Amino acid sequence: MQHPDLDRVMSGLAWIRDARENLLEALYPGTPVPAQPLDPLGLDLQALRDAEARVECMERSETTLGESPAPIRLDVFDVLVDITRRAYLNAWAVHQASGHPWLYSPDSTITDPQPWLGYIHFGINQLGHEEKHHWLVDEIGRNADELISRIIRVLGLIHDGQTIAARVPGVRASPPGGSAPFRAARGAIVCESGTCEASTSKWWWRRPVWPIKE
């Protein structure tokens, strides 16, 4: 019996493989990336952040850590390392469960994980139809979901379910100033307030939508 989430897990692995090129492009400071959504800070947390910033300014000198920043974005580098690490570990688990000939171990922490991702993809396509190996599909799916979430955050991508605060010209909504709650869904921005009035030919469940690519 096929695992109910097999197709979704395999699609996630393919998404990670394709997203690695975007991570490599974003590895170097100065690469344009979308602004990342920030959670609103409460007054107490904002005051604490401000106090920490003032202390850092007073203590900064030529020998202070951070005065010579790394030539790469460490957050992106960390995600690339995590992709290779998880791909190797999951591929080894597939090898033990399937008995397929093993590839080889990665030479470094940022070795291109394509061979191991392909090995996993091939292996679970077989193992996912055997009920005794469904646990392995679950484990690989959990790892893939965590990697996708990290990639989305570090690249500032818009994903399904993300709430977006936006001002859209020509949109009349209940909040003043033309601002309305929007949510990303199925590759589009959806007005969820139920009060948006806009001239658009695209509607989804009686709600106006704007394709993200536009």
85 φ, ψ to 5°? -65, -50
Question: What is the Cα–Cα distance from 37 to 21, expressed in whole angstroms?
Answer: 22
Instruction: Give the highest mean pLDDT range of 53-57, 60-64, 73-77.
Output: 73-77
What does DSSP assign to residue 132? G
Q: Residue 147's pLDDT is what?
A: 93
For residues 57 and 100, give the distance between their C-alpha atoms in angstroms, rounded to a whole number. 57
Terminal CA-to-CA distance of the chain, rounded, Å? 42
Question: Alpha helices, DSSP H only, in the chain?
Answer: 6-25, 43-59, 74-98, 114-127, 134-155
Q: How far apart are alpha carbons 151 and 153 in whole angstroms?
A: 5
Neighbouring residues of 21: CB distance < 8 A, sequence distance ≥ 6: none
What pLDDT score was predicted for residue 27? 86
DSSP secondary structure letter of residue 123 = H
Report pLDDT digits (tens) over 144-185: 999 988 888 888 776 666 666 666 555 554 444 445 567 766
> What tokens does 110 get?
């940022």
- 190 near 209, Cβ under 8 Å? yes
CA 11 to CA 7: how far, in whole Å? 6
**Residue 103 in this model has a pLDDT that exceeds 90:** no
- pLDDT of 170 reads 56
